[in-house]
Amino acid sequence: MEHIERYFPDLTNEQKDQFRRLKEIYEYWNLRINVISRKDMDQFYTHHVLHSLAIARIIDFKPNTTVLDVGTGGGFPGIPLAILFPEVSFHLVDSIKKKIKVVQAVKDSLGLKNVKADHIRAEDLTESYHFIVSRAVTAMPRFVDWVGNRISKDQFNDLTNGILYLKGGDLKEELREFPKVTIYDLAPLFEEPFFETKKLVHLVL
Ligand code: SAM
C-alpha cells in the first residue's frame, strides 16, 4: 500500500481508504471465486493494483472521459483506475458471469459510483468509449477485431483516443500491422523489478 502512496502522492483520504480496503475485499472473494492466483495475493498491490495504475502514469484521464475495460476478470485494470479517477466513467466487462459478480461486489463494497459492470462478450458491445483499457486478454489483432470500432471520435484528452493495453515481452510481431502505435516502457516509471519487462501499448486506429 505504501507503494501506491509513493507513486500517487495526491490521493484523498477516501481514495487511500478504498485502496487500503481493496486487499481484504479481494481476499474474501478470491476464496470463493478465483480471480487472482493465490500465490499472487502476496504481491497484490504491486502485481495488480500498481500495474493497473501504470496507465495513470502515462495518461491523466480528464473528467467525463469514458473508459471500457475488456476482459476485466476480477476488475483489473478497471477497479484501481476507477478509484484513482472518480470523475471518469468505467465500463468493466467480462464473458464469465462469476467474475462480474466479484467486480460488482467490489464496486458495492467500495461505493464506486463511476463503475458499471456487465457480463457480456467484447464482440457484442454497442457503445463507444474514449479509451479501451485491457490486460492479459488476447493478442492485439484479435482484440482490435472485437472492439476496434468502439472508440469514440470525441477528443479531449492529452493522448489520442484509442486502446491502452498492458503487455509484457517482445511485441514487434504482434503489433506489426498497426502503424499508429506507441509502446511505453514501464520500467523507468517504477523501481519494483516486476515492471522490468512491462509495457503499455497505446494504439490509435
Ligand atoms: N484483465 C484481468 C486481469 O488482468 O487480471 C483478467 C485477465 S484473464 C487472463 C482474461 C479475461 O478475459 C478472463 O476473465 C476472460 O473471461 C476474459 N475474456 C476472454 N475473452 C473475452 C471476450 N471475448 N469478451 C469479454 N471477456 C473475455
pLDDT in tens, 92-101: 999 999 999 9
Return the ligand 1 atom nearest residue 121 CA. Answer: 24
Q: For ligand 1, atom 4, name the residue with the nearest CA.
A: 135
Q: What is the pLDDT of residue 170?
A: 84
Domain count for the chain, please give it: 1
- pLDDT tens by residue, 48-68: 999 999 999 999 999 999 999
Report how far residue 89's alpha carbon sits from residue 86's, in angstroms, rounded to the nearest whole number: 8
Is residue 63 left, alpha or beta, with left meaning phi > 0 and alpha meaning psi from -120 to 50? beta
The residue to mutate among 47, 94, 96, 143, having the most atoms of ligand 1 within 8 angstroms of its beta carbon, is: 94
**Residue ranges making up the domain that contains 131:** 2-203
Q: For ligand 1, atom 14, name the residue with the nearest CA.
A: 73
Mean of all residue pLDDT scores within the chain:
96
Read off the amino acid at residue 180: K
Return the ligand 1 atom nearest residue 146 CA. Answer: 23
Return the ligand 1 atom nearest residue 48 CA. Answer: 5
- pLDDT tens by residue, 26-50: 999 999 999 999 889 999 999 999 9
- Joined together, the cell numbers standing for residue 22 give 481493496
Q: For ligand 1, atom 5, name the residue with the nearest CA.
A: 76
Cα Rg for the chain, rounded, in angstroms?
16
What whole-number percentage of the chain has pLDDT above 90?
94
Residues with CB under 6 A from ligand 1: 70-73, 76, 93-96, 99, 121-123, 135-137
CA 122 / ligand 1 centre spacing (Å): 9
Report how far residue 3's alpha carbon sits from residue 55's, in angstroms, rounded to the nearest whole number: 15
CA 95 / ligand 1 centre spacing (Å): 7
The model's confidence at residue 174, banded by pLDDT at 50, 70 and 90, is very high
- The CATH number for 179's domain is 3.40.50.150
CA 182 / ligand 1 centre spacing (Å): 23
Residue 105 in this model has a pLDDT that exceeds 90: yes
Report how far residue 83's alpha carbon sits from residue 77's, in angstroms, rounded to the nearest whole number: 11
Nearest to 186 by CA among 175, 174, 194, 178: 194
Q: What is the pLDDT of residue 195?
A: 97
The model's confidence at residue 132, banded by pLDDT at 50, 70 and 90, is very high
Q: Which one has a higher pLDDT value, 172 or 196?
A: 196
CA 76 / ligand 1 centre spacing (Å): 10
